[in-house]
Amino acid sequence: MNKTYLVEELFEDIPGDADNVIFKIPPEICESQGWGEGDTISFKVEDGVMIMKKIDSQIRNKQEYNMLNMKEWMELVDYKITEGSNYGWSCYGSDAYTLDSWNGVHGGGGYSFSIVFSTESTQTVYQVSAYDYTNNRAYRMINPDYVEQYRKEAESRDVLVNQAWDDVDYVDLDVVDDFIQKCLAIRAGEDYDTRVQVPVDFLDEDLLQYMKLAHERDMTFNEFVTQVLTEAIQAYDTDPVKFRQQHNL
């Protein structure tokens, strides 16, 4: 389905509330997607495009929203496994197992990906890592529920918690898609964005307000959010005390 809508067809003013609007999903879209009353719809804005998707609570649990699942990692490495063994540390429990996918190249052109997961039926993913030997970069995601256990065991073993190898430190990522896109580029030998994506949550009413502001400034939503966050960081770096006072921090 491909149709263009006018702003007034999608947004409706709220009497007495100049700061917010009502977003109306066209009936034909609801019908084509099988959406009905009571369904929960997620909103995501990428490069000025709003992506709407029905949330099925049976598909992914909370942990999987913050971490890759086993299927995603296997697809990422094209089901190519080069090594596997029991995970040597105890921070993830006795059922932790690790798999590696290495392309067999040392140095330039070389890369490898690894995953630590539970061998029990839940297949909980504890940690995923990506190693770009061409550019001497290492990326990592640790399941938020196990970060503290991992760090404590690293300290007890006198291991530098952020060291990947030699003088290369891990860059910790928080967004699953950020990790996946970097891995795909590393595997293809392509340049990629080394910036780290930061998850930002908005209340529905705030999201619509910020979208309106971005539109008024002739910016995409991502550009608007990036600019606001950059200005906030600069203001904090300039005068941390003043910034905290202004924002009641």
pLDDT, position 191? 94
Could you tell me the residue ranges of all domains in the chain?
A: 1-39, 62-188, 200-249
pLDDT digits (tens, 9 = 90+) for 65-109: 478 899 999 999 999 999 999 999 999 999 999 999 999 998 889
Reduced to 3 states (helix: H, G, I; strand: E, B; else coil), residue 248 is coil
Task: Report which of 138, 147, 141 is spatially closest to residue 92, judged by C-alpha positions.
Answer: 147
**Confidence bin at 180 (pLDDT 50/70/90):** very high
Alpha-carbon span 82 to 111, nearest angstrom: 12
Task: Report which of 147, 146, 201, 141 is spatially closest to residue 176, judged by C-alpha positions.
Answer: 141
User: Taking a C-beta distance cutoff of 8 angstroms, is the pair 132, 184 a contact?
Assistant: no
**Confidence bin at 2 (pLDDT 50/70/90):** low
pLDDT digits (tens, 9 = 90+) for 102-147: 999 988 899 999 999 999 878 899 999 999 999 999 999 999 999 9
Alpha-carbon span 61 to 134, nearest angstrom: 36
Q: Which residues lie below 8 Å from residue 54, measured CB to CB, with a gap of 6+? A: 33, 34, 35, 39, 40, 41, 42
Angle at 199 between CA 213 and CA 1, to 5 degrees: 65
